[in-house]
Every structure is written in C-alpha cells, then in structure tokens.
Amino acid sequence: MTVRITLDGRDLDAPEGAVLTTALLGAGQARLGDHAVTGEPRGAWCGMGVCFECEVTVDGDRSVRACLTLVLPGMAVTTGTGTVTADACGTEASATRGAP
C-alpha cells in the first residue's frame, strides 16, 4: 500500500514498510546530504547500517539511518542533516585529502 510522506517539505507517495533509502531512491532522491568538511554529496552506501552515509532527520529525530528505517504513513523526512564527518570507510575527510 502506498502512503504519503514528506521529503524536504514536498509530498511523496511511498510504499508503506519499504526501506526508506529504497523509497527515496525510487523517487529520484539519491543525495541525502553533503559531507561536513568537503561538501561532497552523500547517500546510501552500505545499505546495512554501518557507514552512516544515509543519515537523515525523520520526524525531528536527527541521525536516523534511512537504510534501517521503514516507511510509515505521515513521516517527515529531511535531508542534509547528517552528522557524520568521516567518509564511508571511517577515515576523516582531512586524511583522505592528504592533509597532515
């Protein structure tokens, strides 16, 4: 069954009970935030709760991993609110750019 959620304030119909990352990808929303240091786009990477690349805010709760969250009716999803400052491998951004 399809339910109505909001994504960054826009209405979105999504399959109830689907994994949120899947529903968002299906709606064309791959970018879930930006890297805090480099500004590079972030999105689901591991799909199993390990990398934190998929963090979004759901109903005011920050740091929700979308890959571990199921779509529920009326949920309000906000992208661009992730708190992770390391890359998907757990390496700080400054180290990946070769900074001392």
Residues in touch with ligand FES (CB under 6 A):
44-47, 49-54, 65, 67
Least Cβ distance, residue 42 to ligand FES (angstroms): 9
Give the residue nearest to ligand FES (CB).
67
25, burial (CB in 10 Å: exposed 0-12, middle 13-18, buried 19+): middle
Q: Which is nearer to ligand FES, 36 or 46 (CB)?
A: 46
Q: Which is nearer to ligand FES, 26 or 49 (CB)?
A: 49
Report the alpha-carbon angle 14-20-7, nearest 5: 65
Least Cβ distance, residue 100 to ligand FES (angstroms): 29
47 torsion bin: left (phi>0), alpha (psi -120 to 50), beta (else): left
Least Cβ distance, residue 21 to ligand FES (angstroms): 6
Q: Which is nearer to ligand FES, 4 or 49 (CB)?
A: 49
Q: How far apart are CA 79 and CA 98, in angstroms?
A: 28
Q: How far apart are CA 87 and CA 51, in angstroms?
A: 8
